[in-house]
Amino acid sequence: MAGSAGTPGTPRVLRAMNDRAALDLLLEHGPLSRTRIGKLTGLSKPTASQLLARLEAAGLVRVTGTSEGRPGPGAQLYAVDPAVAHVAALDVTPGRILAAVSDITGKTVGLHELPTPGRRTPRSPAPEDSAAPGRSGRSSPVVRQVTDALDGAVKAAGLPLSAVHRVVIGTPGAFDPNTGRLRYASHLPGWHSPTLLDELAAALPMPVEYENDVNLVALAEQRLGAAKGHDDFVLLWNQDGLGAALVLGGRLHRGWTGGAGEVGFLPVPGAPLVRQVTRVNSGGYQELAGSQALPRLARELGIEDVPTGPHAEAAAALLGRAADHPTGPHRALLTTYATRLATGLAALVSVLDPELVVLSGTSLTAGGEPLRTLLQAELEELAASRPRLALGGVPEHPVLRGALESALATTRDEVFDTSR
């Protein structure tokens, strides 16, 4: 008896698999001829031609030109039609929301930054249970901020809001899957209402997903950066806060409450024991190796002209200067900081035994290769496991890029499915 349309091995399913393989190749390589697609997929020329005709009729690909010096239909170059679908992403911090819109190829076509009031420093107390839900019939300030940021990015892209198929929002902390409330991010004012996710779902006309910001950086690195091709790695992030993302067996490990990777709360040697960590939004590892520790450490080592201002900016400036001139007190700054970072990182790698550790966030990447080398040496002395350390390969807006990649993965599965 012939199998149904959804049974593996049937002609419809095989065609759909070939279609998706061709679309992925076009996304990876850019415009390709039917001959090239046939070679890369292993399909015959007639089958490749039928495939492209099918995709063109479905509106998924279009002819973009011809191969140089080659006449005839065989020289036509095909590419994924970027207008097939669009996705959006938001990177939320206490001081601003950065929003972007991408076409289906991954190209960013709209970007908008919305400053947000009520900025607190990452260590300022702000009890998570103090936020009240929005009043009935009125959108909360957070909902208005999200919709305004998204509207700005969509307008910058020259698109209607209806063109956006999905949005992924990246925030510090994580929304507890058991309660729907944001945890581990008391410094993000207004985001702790128990009704917030329902309010946002009601206010936005497309599906909305939420993810921890550091997890999104790990996704960006796995798709596009230093962790490409790796299924087991840890991403250590240090910018406004110290955190980690854990990828095990190719999948993000989020934990029972979404708090896996909140390493800033780790008790570590060399730092006072911090209690009530969620109230102060800090812990031993954050106090020892977070961005706020760098200016104080620099002064203790006799470095002059220590930058002032936001912790992350000051830390990046100090580490960049030290990496450019790694001598005297600047060398001591790099060495001492590497030891502090290794103190907490050793606990992670001892438990997880990852193949790779990716260093990301401006308070790590500004130290460049000099800091990476020192940290690698320290880690090899403090942990039995010896993963390779690599600097992050997605330097520009990595949280936003990871959110776009997350939105694109799901949307491509939907719009590229030709088996229906």
Q: Residue 319's domain is classified under what CATH number?
A: 3.30.420.40
SS3 content of the chain, % helix, strand, coil (to 5): 45, 20, 35
Give a yes or no: residue 4 inside a domain: no
CA distance 359 to 81: 35
Instruction: Please check whether residue 23 is in contact with residue 31, taking contact to mean a CB–CB distance below 8 angstroms.
Output: no
DSSP per residue, 344-369: HHHHHHHHH--SEEEEESHHHHTTHH
Same-domain check for residues 15 and 98: no
Give a yes or no: residue 1 inside a domain: no
Same-domain check for residues 32 and 127: no
CA distance 329 to 290: 19
Containing domain of residue 249, as a range? 229-393
Same-domain check for residues 89 and 176: yes
Give a yes or no: residue 106 inside a domain: yes
Give backbone dihedrals phi and psi of 324, rounded to 5 degrees, phi first: -75, -30
Number of domains in the chain: 3
Give a yes or no: residue 293 inside a domain: yes
Same-domain check for residues 116 and 58: no
Return the pLDDT at 68: 58
Same-domain check for residues 293 and 387: yes
- Domain end: 38, 62, 80, which one? 80
Same-domain check for residues 196 and 243: no
Looking at residue 252, its amino acid is L
Give a yes or no: residue 222 inside a domain: no
Instruction: Please check whether residue 216 is in contact with residue 94, taking contact to mean a CB–CB distance below 8 angstroms.
Output: no
DSSP per residue, 286-340: HHHHSTTHHHHHHHHTT-SS---SSHHHHHHHHHHHHHHS-SHHHHHHHHHHHHH
Give a yes or no: residue 296 inside a domain: yes
Of 335, 261, 348, give the one whose Cα is nearest residue 298. Answer: 335
Q: Which residues pair with 204 in a beta bridge?
A: none
Give a yes or no: residue 376 inside a domain: yes
CA distance 358 to 341: 13
What CATH number corresponds to the domain at position 49? 1.10.10.10
| Coil, helix or strand at residue 105 | coil
Same-domain check for residues 73 and 181: no
What is the pTM assigned to this prediction?
Answer: 0.90
Same-domain check for residues 279 and 315: yes
Return the pLDDT at 123: 41
Give a yes or no: residue 89 inside a domain: yes
Same-domain check for residues 156 and 204: yes
| Token couple for 146 | 């999200």
Same-domain check for residues 37 and 98: no
Same-domain check for residues 239 and 382: yes
Same-domain check for residues 197 and 116: yes
Query: Cβ neighbours of residue 225 under 8 Å, at least 6 residues apart?
Result: 358, 392, 393, 394, 398
- Domain end: 59, 80, 101, which one? 80
- Domain end: 80, 106, 135, which one? 80
pLDDT in tens, the chain (420 residues): 344 445 556 788 889 999 999 999 999 999 999 999 999 999 998 999 999 999 999 999 999 987 755 655 668 999 999 999 999 999 999 999 999 999 999 999 999 999 997 644 444 334 343 333 333 446 789 999 999 999 999 999 999 999 999 999 999 999 998 899 999 888 898 899 999 999 999 999 999 999 999 999 999 999 999 999 999 999 999 998 899 999 999 999 999 999 999 999 999 999 999 999 888 888 999 999 999 999 999 999 999 999 988 999 999 999 999 999 999 999 999 999 999 999 999 999 999 999 999 999 999 999 999 999 999 999 999 999 999 999 999 999 999 999 999 999 999 999 999 887
